[in-house]
Amino acid sequence: MAIIRDKAASQNPLQDDISPKESSLRPSSSLQKRLQTAQPQKKLTSPISSTQDNGENHNYGALNYTNIADYRFGKVLGQGAYAVVKEAQHRSSMHTVAVKVYDKYKLTDVQRRKGVQREIRLMRRLAQHENIVQLYDAIDTQRQIYLIMEHVEGQCLQQMMKFRHQRRLSSETEAARMFAQIMSAVEAMHLMDVAHRDIKMENILVEARSGRVKVIDFGFSCLSKERLKVFCGTPSYMSPEIVSKKEYFGGPADIWACGVLLFTLICGTFPFKSITTEKELFRKINRGIFTYTLPDVSSEAKDLIKQMLNVEPSERPNASMVLQHQWFRSNGCFKNKSCTLMDSSELAENTTQEEVEQKTQL
């Protein structure tokens, strides 16, 4: 279904607001300690040699490490209302990248421009996680903004599931290994105070060779401590607080969307659906009542999904708690190389103290 974007925006989209109700977003004390004792971050790791360094463009926060003339453009990989993603090749290194192109004439609204600024800033913050697509450069030209990103050879989860029996994964073990990677990425985002706000199968890429998961499309991303009123996302993945148009935090909304995603991976269908109207769909989401279409879903999987699809945002587990659930261990999946997960301590080692301080400044 198409993404819904509301013209309304939060009164201060860059405000870093804190509320007691967002306690479910807070990482464990051990993870907080790792983050606080982080070592200096290396410069953005890119396989592309920089031909120039124009510094940061303050209009959009562009990096301008390279020049757009350094790239040879190819096929279109995806297209949305405000941007198109194209395949491109860096001329000197011959490295293939994905380039998200924003036409500036579509960004005349102040909130749209701030959204692009935020996307660049937050992607830079998340540059070191193996399950999050990397941003190599952001180039500001007279008519366009170009986001030079990691190219993933593979397909999105939605495409992959089309060719699976009953449009679901073959076992809960396979689902656990894939979902653990997704939650590892979400955990990293929330540790860095970033909420994605559009987690869905179309925004999860799976590498063809390694099976590694990559979370993409940070166009709706925001600070996880930011109070929001913006009605956005994809209807089937929206949380009750969003469809009710209440003030909400992005982190718990991400957890709800991940719960919908897990249900879909295991069952091959959405937990909440309507063949009539969106109003009926939203009514079902608000009630939070769903049934399993398959008889063989394990009790542990049901327990995890039930926790994540709690209609009360403050009672949902945070990403770290989700990863500690017994369901992962029962399926032989731990936070180690067997699930191709990046440990949070590795993330912290690539985080500068300056980035930690900037959490309250973005």
For the segment 293-315, what is each residue's pLDDT rounded down to a tens digit?
888 999 999 999 999 999 999 99
Q: Is the pLDDT of residue 9 over 50?
A: no
109 is known to lie in a ligand binding site:
no
Read off the pLDDT of residues 181-220 as tens digits, 9 standing for 90 and up: 999 999 999 999 999 999 999 999 999 999 999 999 999 9
Report the chain's mean pLDDT, rounded to a whole number.
81
| More confident of the two residues 165 and 253 | 253
Read off the pLDDT of residues 351-360 as tens digits, 9 standing for 90 and up: 334 343 333 3
114 is known to lie in a ligand binding site:
no
53 is known to lie in a ligand binding site:
no
Q: Annotated catalytic, 198? A: yes
pTM for this model (two decimals): 0.78
Among the listed residues 198, 254, 296, 343, the single catalytic one is 198
Q: Is the pLDDT of residue 42 over 50?
A: no
Joined together, the tokens standing for residue 72 give: 């040879």
Read off the pLDDT of residues 72-100 as tens digits, 9 standing for 90 and up: 999 999 988 889 999 999 999 999 999 99
203 is known to lie in a ligand binding site:
yes
8-36+153-349, what's its fold?
A: Transferase(Phosphotransferase); domain 1 (1.10.510)
Domains 8-36+153-349 and 68-151 alike in fold: no
Give the model's pLDDT for residue 57: 47
Task: Render the burial of 177-189: b for 16+ CB within 10 Å, e for the rest.
Answer: bbbbbbbbbbbbb
**Distance from C-alpha of 271 to C-alpha of 259, rounded to nearest angstrom:** 9
Give the orientation angle of helix 299-308 with respect to helix 250-267, to 10 degrees. Answer: 150
Give the model's pLDDT for residue 63: 84
Joined together, the tokens standing for residue 102 give: 């924003």
Q: Is the pLDDT of residue 344 over 50?
A: no
Give the model's pLDDT for residue 143: 93
Q: Is the pLDDT of residue 120 over 80?
A: yes
Give the model's pLDDT for residue 24: 36
- What pLDDT band is residue 174 in, cutting at 50, 70 and 90? very high
List the one residue out of 268, 264, 155 whose CA is nearest residue 206.
Answer: 155
Read off the pLDDT of residues 228-281 as tens digits, 9 standing for 90 and up: 888 888 999 999 999 999 999 999 999 999 999 999 999 999 999 988 899 999
Give the model's pLDDT for residue 46: 60
CB of 288 closer than 8 Å to CB of 240? yes
- Tell me the domain boundaries of the chain: 8-36+153-349, 68-151
Architecture in CATH of 68-151: 2-Layer Sandwich (3.30)
**Distance from C-alpha of 198 to C-alpha of 257, rounded to nearest angstrom:** 8
Give the model's pLDDT for residue 316: 98
| More confident of the two residues 53 and 287 | 287
CA distances from 306 to 49, 192, 257, 271, 299 (A): 48, 26, 13, 11, 10
List the one residue out of 187, 57, 65 whose CA is nearest residue 135.
Answer: 65
Q: Is the pLDDT of residue 361 over 80?
A: no
- What pLDDT band is residue 53 in, cutting at 50, 70 and 90? very low
Give the model's pLDDT for residue 275: 85
Q: Is the pLDDT of residue 14 over 60?
A: no
